[in-house]
Amino acid sequence: MVVKVRPNDKDAKLKYQECHKIVKQKAFERAIASDPHRRSVVDTLDIESMSEPKTPEFTPKTAPSHHKSP
């Protein structure tokens, strides 16, 4: 690596920093890229087959309380 051989070379440092930035950008792009052949969870949902429960799971009387009583 030129930067190690010539640590005081400003041009070498600048080019190293530019290359390092590009490498990090490419790694980031690969990390957030999605597989075009993979189906999204949203696409697998069948909204029409879902229904609301007839009775709610939690009512104000049965809902769990997160604060302590005095």
Distance of CA 20 to the CA centre of its chain: 22
Q: 61: which 2 tokens?
A: 């009387």
- 11 has pLDDT over 80: yes
Provide the whole-model pTM.
Answer: 0.47
- 70 has pLDDT over 60: no
Cβ 13 vs Cβ 3: under 8 Å: yes
What is the per-residue pLDDT across 41-59, written as a single tens digit (0 to 9) for each?
Answer: 888 888 888 887 777 666 6
- 30 has pLDDT over 70: yes
